[in-house]
Amino acid sequence: MDDYRRLLLNNRAWVKDKLDLRPDFFEATATEQRPEYLWIGCSDSRVPAEEVTGTHPGELFVHRNVANMVVHTDFNMLSVLQYAVEILCVKHIIVCGHYGCGGVRTALSRRDLGLINKWLRHIKDVYRFHSTELDAIPEGQPRFDRLVELNVIEQVHHLADISFVQRAWRKHQRPMLHGWIYDLHTGLINDIVKIDPGDHPHDIYEYDFEP
Ligand code: CO
């Protein structure tokens, strides 16, 4: 059998399992979604958002890209984010990075990957912002791990710097922003940063809104 057919067979088995547990499982969620969480994660195949958080269909609104980035000119991410904040009214946004991230590892190196350089450039910028701290850490795993953490913190700050996130804070006192790191070796998630609605990390990005 072709390898890909296994996925389609798995789907049939999954549907059967769900319906055995709850006959209206699909009908109950087919007409609308009301997820409370937006997950911004890495595309890495080893960090499946729903599986590592024990969540079910309908619970997570998900955006994934290389190295879980929040880039303020990325209309794909911004469209997902605006929809999540303004239409779905999510209560929490989680940026989840992971140790061993290939995007971060490549950004730390001088490797040339063509187009991907442009995307990873944003991680090199994170390094430059924190070069005093990072240069003082021994080269290798410790420095790599710390850049993974700083990258997540930086992306969470980017969320706080976006005008429509600030408008939702002002009007609705949500969403809360979270930065998490998944450990590939243990499967555990560490909570490393949290920003409550209204806590602006950088004054220069704070907007005044018309009443
Ligand atoms: Co990654």
Q: How far is the CA of 107 from the centre of ligand 1 (A)?
A: 11
Q: Which residue has the higher pLDDT, 1 or 135?
A: 135
- Cα separation, 23 vs 148, in Å, equals 43
Rounded CA-CA distance 27/15 in Å is 12
Cα-only R_g, the chain? 19
In angstroms, what is the span from residue 158 Cα to ligand 1's centroid? 18
Q: Say yes or no to pLDDT of 35 above 80.
A: yes
Query: d(Cα 141, Cα 144) in Å, to the nearest integer?
Result: 5
Q: Encode pLDDT of 58-92 as tens digits.
A: 999 999 999 999 999 999 999 999 999 999 999 99
Share of the chain above pLDDT 70, in %: 100
For residue 79, the CA-to-ligand 1 centroid distance in Å is 22
CA gap 62, 108 in Å, rounded: 27
State yes or no: is 46 an active-site residue.
Answer: yes
- Which sign does the torsion angle of CA 187, 160, 195, 124 carry? positive
Sheet strand arrangement including 176-182 = 60-65, 37-42, 92-98, 176-182, 189-195
| Cis bond upstream, residue 211 (ω within 30) | no
Q: What is the pLDDT of residues 201-210, one digit of tens each?
A: 899 999 998 8
CB atoms within 10 A of CB 43: 12
Mean pLDDT of 152-175: 97
What is the average per-residue pLDDT within 161-175?
A: 96
Q: What six digits make up the tokens of 21?
A: 């547990």
Q: Catalytic annotation on 44?
A: yes
**Distance of alpha carbon 65 from its chain centroid, rounded?**
8
Structural domain spans, the chain? 1-31, 34-205
Q: Bridge-partner residues for 176, per DSSP?
A: 92
Confidence of residue 1 (pLDDT cuts 50, 70, 90): low
Helix (H) or strand (E) holding 39, with range, is strand 37-42
Confidence band of 132 (pLDDT split at 50, 70, 90): very high
Question: One of 2, 17, 34, 42 is an active-site residue; which one?
Answer: 42
For residues 191-209, average pLDDT = 94
CATH code of 34-205, in short, is: 3.40.1050.10
Residue 29 pLDDT: 86
- Contact present, 170 and 179 (Cβ < 8 Å): no
Distance 8 CA to ligand 1 centre (A): 26
119 Cα–ligand 1 center, Å: 13
Mean pLDDT confidence for 137-142? 95
What's the average model confidence in pLDDT over 132-155?
Answer: 97
